[in-house]
Amino acid sequence: MKGPHYPLLTVLAIFALGVVSGVRSSAAELVHARDGSGVYGYKDTPKLPWCDYLVHDPDRPSPRRVDPGPAGPPGAVPGDARVLFDGTTLEAWQPGAWRAADGHLVAGDGMLTTKASFGDLQLHLEWLAPADYQGPWYNRGNNGVLLMGMYEIQIFDSYNEKIYPDGQAAAIYGQTPPRVNVTRPPGQWQTFDILFTAPKFDGDELVAPARVTMLHNGVLVHLNEAVHGETGHRIVPRYQRGLSRGPLALGGHGCAVRFRNIWVREL
């Protein structure tokens, strides 16, 4: 899920196979947390300048689990919202390998990107990881919401998988874990409600970083959290493009994650 990036599908998957172009990779080795929790990540990545942890550090404290309660029906759509998926058509999106089926948007290979661009916004979407997924662990529920096509909020099966905290569901990927883990089991609907403030630039100089306030399944997981740069895997994020508007994107990663009730309000 990079911008566009593939944190689990590329480096992790390749290393799991033990081969990179016929040579065993030693630079991307997964390790487990020292506390015996079973959380896995990396210890050969750079340190994040704003905290005491490495990128994708398995020893970073994992968010505590909170039961968000049962999933409900699709949420109401505000009268001034711009509907991006209503259960029938992909008209708001660029052509891609995704499809509409049974009233849902079903992830295919690669990114799905909106035709329109957005800056400051309120975004609502609902997603479901398949309960009967049979693929490799690193694709289990793997997807993502890329704000402006560059800043990713992770979608993942963090009910079962003990991925590094800055890569679990609702994390600002590679940067900041959610405050709590409120992921429901696969096969149950999840909701993301995101308030996003786009970065501000004076020419190429960053004046104010992007910020995210977010509810996952109705529970606060980010509060005015700074986004430190464009999403990447195993790297320190930084701002490389002086843009304050961009399309929304969803990232497909070998798992048929479903979406419904996607709408946005420009702020």
Burial 93-132 (b: 16+ CB within 10 A, else e): beebebeeeeebbbbeebbbbbeeebbebbbbbbbbbbee
Q: What is the pLDDT of residue 14?
A: 30
Domain extents in the chain: 7-266
In this predicted structure, what is the pLDDT of residue 134? 87
Give pLDDT, residue 10: 34
**Can you give the pLDDT at residue 137?**
81
Query: What is the C-alpha to C-alpha distance for residues 153 and 7, in angstroms, rounded to an integer?
Result: 13
Burial class from Cβ neighbours inside 10 Å (0-12, 13-18, 19+) for residue 168 reads: buried
Closest CA to 157 of 55, 61, 31, 257: 257
Report the C-alpha gap between 1 and 106 in whole angstroms.
17
Confidence at residue 101, expressed as pLDDT on a 0 to 100 scale: 97
Fold of 7-266: Jelly Rolls (2.60.120)
- Compute mean pLDDT per 10 residues along the chain, 267 residues long, and list them: 37 30 47 96 97 97 98 97 97 96 96 98 98 88 97 97 97 98 98 98 95 98 98 96 97 94 97
pLDDT at 9: 32
